[in-house]
Amino acid sequence: MSLRYQINLRILFSSLCILILGGSIAIWQARAAVDKEVESSINLAVKLIAFGFSQVEQNAQPETDWLAQFNTLKETRHLHIQLRQPSGNILKLTPNNSAEQHENLPPHWFINLLEDGHYQTEHKINAVNGAPLTLIIQANPLDEITEVWAESLAFFGSFFFLTLFTFLTVNLVFNKAIRSTTTIVEALQAIENGHYQQSVPEFAITEYDIIAKAVNHLGHELHITQQENRALTQHSLEIQEDERQRLSQELHDELGQSITAIKVMAVTAAHKKADIKQTTETIVGICDHVMKVVRSMMHQLHPLVLTELGLKATMEDLLNHWSVRNPELTLTIDCPDEVDGLEQKITIQVFRVVQECLTNIVRHAQAEQAQIKLVIKHNGSFEKTLWLEVSDDGQGCAADKIKTGFGLLGMRERIKSLGGEFTIQTSPQQGMTIIASIPL
């Protein structure tokens, strides 16, 4: 169910409730107003007739003449007045107004709602000669009901037009909102398809403009991330090709020449006059050199100590290697034996991150001390987190001026590939701290 349909349905339901409630209140008030109007008319007629009879007595005017004059009053047009003598005879009657023709009569159901049928009253008065008379007044509320009907038509007509105006206004607003929503959805679909530079225009509506800015920011960040990933992928491919070229060169220069030399020594040893001892010693020396080259290549490709002895020993061996090459840099490590039980995919990535951190410290930090801290935190009964922290006391830099080189991008991607988080804390002349947390 669309939002437009839901809103229109709620407006219609609310309008019907208001109509029913307002109509009930209007009919109740109209009925009270008709009763009050009729009662006022009857009371006025009684007072006028009583006053008229007193004037007849003073002016010696016949009752019939005075009643004829009273009969011409416009205010009594909806009253049926009778004078009854004690004997039961009717002394005088006003014209029967119920026979009057009314224009624009309200419907019968409306008349039945407002009429209660109790519009007749009797009052005792004395004639000029002192004879008691009974004044019978019967009111016809049709005039008042007709007026109420006209007012009701005006009220409900105004309510209908206001409701219609509300529907039109809401739908106009929805048309504008839906156009804005469609524009935002199209931009999101374009971003979903990889068009991260797709931008959403500004909107006059504040809420939509906030969403548009958020979508534009999202597209910009995704575009930057895409460029970084492409550059990192290209850099990784270049490193891979360089590594293959270097390995190929080493295989050609070292292994190829060594194997050729061994072959020459073997051919030489086949002669009768050959010095077998010297030839054998030469072959052994060449084999030792080949083994040294192979081990060096294997260590560059993958440190065997990581598989054989575990992460802790590999980290200590790495720090010893850097300490020997950089005696001015003091390196310390805090690593529990528990890390040796980590998965192979985690240990190799952590080792590469630490290796890259130490490379950056030696090349750029100009630090005197560096510390590596590796801790396994127990967050609960079944939740563990590997916490890696590499800090130095080097020159550091402003947090907003960190150069996102391929080293940092590579470390970040390694940690993210394990579902972890990677953060950098640094400030000028306050060193740098790299923190990585990996869920286990």
**Segment 61-112, tens digit of pLDDT:** 555 555 555 555 555 556 666 667 677 676 554 554 444 445 567 788 877 7
Q: Which two tokens stand for residue 90?
A: 């009717």
**Segment 286-338, tens digit of pLDDT:** 888 888 888 777 766 767 777 777 888 888 888 888 888 888 989 999 988 88
More confident residue, 123 or 354: 354
More confident residue, 249 or 209: 209
Place of tokens 């295989």: 251
CB atoms closer than 10 angstroms to residue 254:
17
CB atoms closer than 10 angstroms to residue 381:
5
Q: Please state which of the ranges 5-9, 69-73, 210-214, 256-260 shows the lowest mean pLDDT.
A: 69-73
Cβ atoms 97, 77 nearer than 8 A: yes
Q: Which two tokens stand for residue 95?
A: 């014209």
More confident residue, 437 or 143: 437
* Model confidence at 383: pLDDT above 70: yes
Percent of the chain clearing pLDDT 90 (strictly above): 5
The rounded mean pLDDT for the chain is 78
Q: Which pLDDT does position 388 carry in this prediction?
A: 93
Percent of the chain clearing pLDDT 70 (strictly above): 81
Q: What is the pTM of this model?
A: 0.48
- DSSP per-residue string spanning 206-218: HHHHHHHHHHHHH
More confident residue, 4 or 334: 334
* Model confidence at 171: pLDDT above 50: yes
Q: Alpha-carbon distance 10 to 17, whole Å?
A: 10
CB hemisphere CA count around 232 (13 angstroms): 17
CATH T-level assignment (fold) for domain 305-439: Heat Shock Protein 90 (3.30.565)
Sequence spans of domains, the chain: 3-96+104-168, 195-301, 305-439
More confident residue, 173 or 399: 173
Q: Which pLDDT does position 332 carry in this prediction?
A: 92
More confident residue, 401 or 423: 423
Q: Which pLDDT does position 391 carry in this prediction?
A: 92
